C-alpha cells in the first residue's frame, strides 16, 4: 500500500551544485526503481542550521515528496544515512496528517453553515412581566 511522504534532507554547504543534482537524481531513481513515485523535489536553498551538525552551521535543504510503501522508504532512509554529503534527514508520513486536516476542514465548514443560517428574533409577549414576590406570613 503506497503512502504519501515528505523527505527533507540537508546537504553539506561545501557540496557543488552538480553533485547535489546527481545526489537528488540518485534518490529519485531509488524511489522510481522501487515502484514508488516522486511527486516533487524542491531545493530550498542554503540556510543556517539551528545547531551545529557534523561541524557545519549551514546546509542546503532539499524537500522531496514521494508516494511509496514502507520497505521503499526504509531503503531510501538507508541510502540517506550512508551518503557522505547528507548531514541530516527526516521522513514524515503525510497521508495521516492530510486526513486529519481534511477532517478539521469539514468540521469548520459545518460550523460556518450553522452560523450562516439566520436566527429568528425572540418573540415578545403582549402580557406584562410580573415578578413573583414571596408573601409575608
What is the pTM assigned to this prediction? 0.71
Of the pLDDT bands very low, low, confident and very high (cuts 50, 70, 90), residue 126 is low
Looking at residue 115, its pLDDT comes to: 78
Q: pLDDT of 24-36, one tens digit each? A: 999 999 999 999 9
- pLDDT above 90 covers a percentage of the chain that reads 69
- Alpha-carbon span 3 to 6, nearest angstrom: 10
- Alpha-carbon span 17 to 23, nearest angstrom: 10
Could you tell me which residues come within 8 angstroms of residue 34 by beta carbon, excluding any fewer than 6 positions away? 68, 71, 72, 75, 76
Residue 133 predicted with pLDDT over 60: yes
Phi/psi region, residue 3 (left: phi>0; alpha: psi -120 to 50; beta: rest), is beta
Q: Which of 88, 90, 74, 87 is nearest to 6 (CA)?
A: 90
Q: Between these two residues, 118 and 55, which has the higher pLDDT value?
A: 55
User: In terms of DSSP H, where are the helices of the chain?
Assistant: 17-33, 70-82, 95-116
Q: Between these two residues, 128 and 81, which has the higher pLDDT value?
A: 81
129 DSSP 8-state letter: P
User: Which of the following CATH numbers is that of domain 3-97: 3.40.50.2000, 3.30.70.60, 2.30.130.10, 3.40.50.2300?
Assistant: 3.30.70.60
Looking at residue 127, its pLDDT comes to: 62
84 DSSP 8-state letter: T
- Alpha-carbon span 8 to 62, nearest angstrom: 6
Extents of the domains making up the chain: 3-97
Amino acid at each position: 500500500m503506497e503512502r504519501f511522504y515528505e523527505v527533507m534532507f540537508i546537504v553539506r554547504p561545501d557540496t557543488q551544485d552538480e553533485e547535489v543534482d546527481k545526489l537528488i537524481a540518485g534518490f529519485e531513481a531509488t524511489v522510481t526503481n522501487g515502484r514508488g513515485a516522486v511527486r516533487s523535489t524542491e531545493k530550498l536553498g542554503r540556510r543556517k542550521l539551528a545547531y551545529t551538525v557534523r561541524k557545519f552551521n549551514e546546509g542546503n535543504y532539499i524537500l522531496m515528496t514521494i508516494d511509496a510503501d514502507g520497505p521503499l522508504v526504509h531503503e531510501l532512509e538507508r541510502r540517506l544515512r550512508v551518503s557522505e554529503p547528507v548531514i541530516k534527514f527526516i521522513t514524515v508520513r503525510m497521508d495521516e496528517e492530510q486526513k486529519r486536516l481534511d477532517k478539521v476542514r469539514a468540521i469548520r465548514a459545518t460550523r460556518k453553515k450553522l452560523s450562516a443560517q439566520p436566527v429568528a428574533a425572540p418573540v415578545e409577549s403582549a402580557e406584562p412581566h410580573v415578578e413573583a414576590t414571596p408573601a409575608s406570613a
